[in-house]
Chain A
């Protein structure tokens, strides 16, 4: 759990009482976040960081970052190991605070809703902002079908037609044709690349606004990586995508804008082509040309 001395912005409890703080915008914010988005044709939402600082116990990992993630675009976050790009990503859906002793300060908004705002239910934040992890991690006790449906069940969404949602999600993740004849088989029986697309299907089943991806291809072979990258380009029509990657070619292939982090600070954020061809900051140039890593 989070540090008890955390400033009031951080809600250490999983479900803080909605009326615990009665600042004016809170109820509206909470209500907007708690309403599951309507499935089907929809657009993603933008996200913004204002003065984000993140800590692990006493050590500060993020030194105050301001960044805007445009709706329906792919934003890549790159940088050397330990630069804080994954920490920033985990602050975006409040998974950062799951690490014992970890806390975050500053403002993180989904459109104009403060996700760290008082009275905001953290489960509603995570429903609106889904996450795909580095290692494919289907639930080992569940079938392919149940893994996708688990998103709905775990989030407590009552769906009148789970079957339809599962099919649409698997199609959305480009996996339907490969698994439609063996939906009742265990999800762990799929290949690594298929497992990762299964996890993406699980994430989009709950109809989030934004999808966070934490090095989603680093455990995959080149062909599986290609499939996931093609999928990312398709997904951005419906979702805002924020991806952390240590692979600069991947960032160049999939993203619209790229943010370069170094030692917990945002060095530069620019359209991907510009960042890789004519970076403004010398540090960025050194990194993208491979002078250090």
Chain B
């Protein structure tokens, strides 16, 4: 095996090995050294309580900011900027990488663009189809008929299947589309530094003020080309119609993103986001062989700019679909696969370490800190629910009579129970905050659904059990065993009203 490949394999093994190592060591400790295991669990539980309080506070702060900036007239803000910061010369290039998503999903996304409060003559839309999808051409024709004249530019691109060096990923399609758009910009003689590119999931419906907000932040940043711009993803498109299980999972995902937006030093792009087109070209577009293109693009830019690259949070929402299916079990499976794909972001770890090893300009401290942050967040994701729910009771069950007559044996279930109850109590804050980001109730939805949406939070323990750690542990195990996953777009169950 080539040396670089061997090192990459070792790096792929590390996250899974650490997560499984922690779990196995704790299980063995619970059998042979139950007191040591109990101490470890109590320390972890206490850490988790403090972490939960800390993160919940950040969530409240992020919410506060989101509401402070809600309904702000961002275009007026742009117009009020210094003349040197001429917003009118900027173009917005919006790419929708599409695979099997139908017209019913794409049309609202394009309509949202058309309805946005930003000049359409400054917008170039690219709907990036996969050539291998049988209905791609037909869908493209329908959408072109409806939207082609609405924007300054409108392109339908068709990404050829199995291009050399590519895997079937969203990044490969987006890169193909960006290159086509680049030719369009060249033809129109538009400078790359005057273009902001937004790569949106097919179901992304932007807020009316999104492009004004993005433009304002782009123009007011010290190094605007050395930043990605991350809106707050909410899953409001079909949230009133989605089943409770899926709704809570997606609301929690929005919350995670909002919390991360407050932790700027570890904030990484996720899902739909925007950046300078000039930067995108310079860093050679999205990766064409990695599933988690949305976060890898950040790391590529981070390495390219020698660590001087950041993500600017935009406290404005982009709305997507809650992923759900025809019945509960299919919905759980769907959600599980989606979360596993997100957890597959751990593939960034070997990429980042490899990038750091070839980059002598980034200070070692930054390298160590960013590597640790990436690794720690994924490992915590993979083990926290396992420790809280499964390993917590093990010393009592496996520790034998001697452990059970120890004071710590008596106190352990009380402390772990307290932690679990505390974690549930934070759901109260989540309930209140979730109401705040909820769109108005559609007319076809009964008022009673308001009650359901309050009561449904009692299923949080079930969700923690199913989706707490297992998708992340699954993803890390697959990476460890070189059982790579391919990008499969999540089925969206939107009810078109």
B partners with A? no
Give me the interface of B with A, judged by CB distance under 8 Å: none
